[in-house]
Amino acid sequence: MHEEQAHGATPVDGGDRDRWEWRRRIRANPRSAQIYRMAVAIFGLIVVLIGIILLPFPGPGWVIIFIGLGIWASEFEWAQNLLKWVRGTVEAWWDWLEKKGLWAKAIAALLTFALVLAIFWAMFAVSGVPGWFPDFAKDFLVKVPGLG
């Protein structure tokens, strides 16, 4: 019997064992393993830094940071532990919010909306209202205190 069949995988689909074979080959050589870990560290750092740069703007800053953390977690135990802690904290917060009912969700949504508005206001106060905005939006925004 072939080794693939002994592990429950068929030669057609390659199975779960073959899916990670490339990492086993890299780790078999200490030099390539070290280079791979450095590449994962650098790539994860770049992704995390992009997420940090995007944090002040509305959008996926935190999601990008968590993707970078996931990249690190593929190779580093400290990142796995941090990602596990973050997931547990978010799940606990979400569970707490679910138990509090609709009023807590509404307050959380309003606070999130207020934070997004504050970020936009600060961004427009520093850089000005973008020229590509439609005229009605620019006319409205320049009347907002601190933006005109």
Domain ranges, residue 97: 56-122
Q: Please classify residue 3 by burial: count the beta carbons closer than 10 Å to its beta carbon, then call 0-12 exposed, 13-18 middle and 19+ buried.
A: exposed
Inside any domain, residue 108: yes
- Determine, yes or no, domain membership for 73: yes
Residue 131, SS3?
A: coil
How many CB atoms are closer than 10 A to CB 63? Answer: 11
State the amino acid at position 109 in one-letter form. Answer: A
**In contact, 146 and 125? CB cutoff 8 Å:** yes
> How much of the chain, in percent, has pLDDT values that exceed 90?
33
82 domain-assigned: yes
20, part of any domain:
no
- Given a cut of 90, is residue 113 above it in pLDDT? no
pLDDT tens digits, residue range 43-89? Answer: 999 999 999 988 877 778 889 999 999 999 999 999 999 999 999 99
Within a domain: 61: yes
**Is there a domain that residue 97 lies in?**
yes
Query: How far is residue 45's CA from residue 121's CA, in Å, rounded to a whole number?
Result: 29
Q: How many domains does the chain have?
A: 1
Contact 29, 20 (CB under 8 A): no
Domain contains 11 = no
Mean predicted confidence (pLDDT) in 8-37: 74
Answer yes or no: is 128 within a domain: no
The predicted pLDDT at position 14 comes to: 53
